[in-house]
Structure 1
């Protein structure tokens, strides 16, 4: 890159995630159940930050850490281990880092949670229990006048954030997603914020609900009139996209993978799409790359530390034996950098200590 601006600018709520796996069934009141394993690590906005940083992008994160063990651990992982710039972040005295305990239960579907859920199908349900309070600093207070950055990854909410307009005005390209509306109103007013955005990447349920359409293709057509680059992720059906700046349309099928934990898969998709976009890749390559990275992430526990980075993509490519996938992803030969970095560190997964 030809300048030292942040390549990805982020802000949002951080969680400490504790994932308990291998439960045969949910516990009954008054009952103790021993799990088959445990994973832990930063979650929430950390999912995007780590996914971007592992692709070698200069990543600047504005978030709030509590002055507790969980905050100190997440800060060390993000800054010390993953190289995320935390100059815009703050540690709040007397405020506790939000903690989510996820129980991985056998089921046919996947449960969602704002800041944690991904856009893929899962082999289990997750029962989630979160403790936390609103942080003492808002996104706008953390950002102030945001630094010039090449891109910003944002989560659109009903109440517009002032910093997003400032970032767009200083030349930052805004890539946005959106979450589940618990009111089920799906107010179309939220789409007015797309005037500030370069790209919008909702999942199929969100896209059809906000556009009042009945299919991903119809929703994509409506969104393409509102934002230069529109993407609709479709879980097990892959993703579709339109880039009005180049006139490209693309579809990418999902990869057939065993899903261990879909937490943060949507965030990995978004960060990977931005990484490929910063590289100036054709839309079809950007979309396939994002689908691949998200698919690789669901094979590991947790959100942030499941992101594959260049190391994970390179390992997948070198071990590939399927001729169809080899043709479809042949562009990786020219895209994977010579130095893919050290092996990525996944969330620590600890087997239980059995009682005698």
Structure 2
């Protein structure tokens, strides 16, 4: 038994999200249709995991400013989220991202200081953890390696490479993880391959489980340890804001693997969680709850519009989570 189901380590942002707008031309001004303030970055994954009923913790840092206070206040409202490993760094500025989004795409402007990056050491030790998600681009912290040696499943991710070098050497860190979940752009750029399927084949040589997300086209996955492979299409939805969809996918996938669901069911569950998140504004604020997903699954089963998977087992977990939250 573990004390925590999921731990998410990484950079924490305060997201200022403006939707229904594209980035303006130089010297121009544009107006958004909607606006939201929400925790972003790793915090989005942590919120998504907690809302789906998994005992989750966030490892990261904010500054002692109004943006950090806004992030902390929002995260404190999540019942299943443990914030004991969210540090406040004296004198630092909380990382801030302005996201300009429309139904199809998004652009970001970010300010951050290195002081709020993920630390290689923890102020206090973590308990036993089922799964941990962490970025690989800046190196994997020593405490993640300690978790893995103790039996934690470590899931790696990458973000956008602002240098646009996409150095394949970053993939050497995959030897230190059990699974890797990039999106299609990240996967193809790092592997120098033309599409998600080719990138999946290349990445599967480096770590056992690889899942490549493809936005509105769902995801493809291979588990070389079990021989499982699947392609899951996303259900058609009206997208309002794609911010945080990938984070919701990662959180749902990590949680699904901790309870032993098959690869097909795990990926289908993650795709569904992501597809529900894009229908609302914001990153963490749009993450679906267990009750929301349970209702969506029942609707999908009634109308036969869900990708194949063991949805009965998924519903048992979501219903138990919802019942426990209401107790």
Residues 235, 23 of structure 1: alpha-carbon distance in 2 compared, 3 angstrom cutoff: closer
More helix by share: 2
Residue 59 in 1 paired to residue 47 in 2?
no
Give the aligned partner of residue 189 of structure 2.
209
Preserved contact between residue 7 and residue 131 of structure 2 (Cα < 8 Å): yes
Q: CA deviation at 1:46?
A: 0.8
TM-score by length of structure 1 reads: 0.81
Residue 140 in 1 paired to residue 120 in 2?
yes
Give the aligned partner of residue 276 of structure 1.
256
Q: Deviations over 1:270-293 (max 9, x none)?
A: 111111111211111111111111
Preserved contact between residue 89 and residue 142 of structure 1 (Cα < 8 Å): no
Q: Deviations over 1:133-177 (max 9, x none)?
A: 222574213367654311100111144433332222222110111
Matches within 5 A, 1:93-108: 93-104=90-101
Gaps of 5+ in 2: none
Preserved contact between residue 49 and residue 84 of structure 1 (Cα < 8 Å): yes
Give the aligned partner of residue 235 of structure 2.
255
Gaps of 5+ in 1: 107-121, 345-356
Residues 285, 83 of structure 1: alpha-carbon distance in 2 compared, 3 angstrom cutoff: closer
Preserved contact between residue 65 and residue 92 of structure 1 (Cα < 8 Å): yes
Q: Radius of gyration: which is bigger?
A: 1
SS in 1 for 2:163: coil
SS in 1 for 2:115: coil
Number of aligned positions between the proteins: 322
Matches within 5 A, 1:1-356: 3-23=1-21, 26=24, 29=27, 35-104=32-101, 122-126=103-107, 128-135=108-115, 138-142=118-122, 146-320=126-300, 323-326=303-306, 328-329=307-308, 331-336=310-315, 337-341=318-322
TM-score by length of structure 2 reads: 0.88
Could you tell me how far apart the structure 2 residues matched to 1:143 and 1:211 are?
A: 36
Residues 261, 253 of structure 1: alpha-carbon distance in 2 compared, 3 angstrom cutoff: same
Please report the RMSD computed on the Cα atoms of aligned residues, expressed in angstroms: 2.7
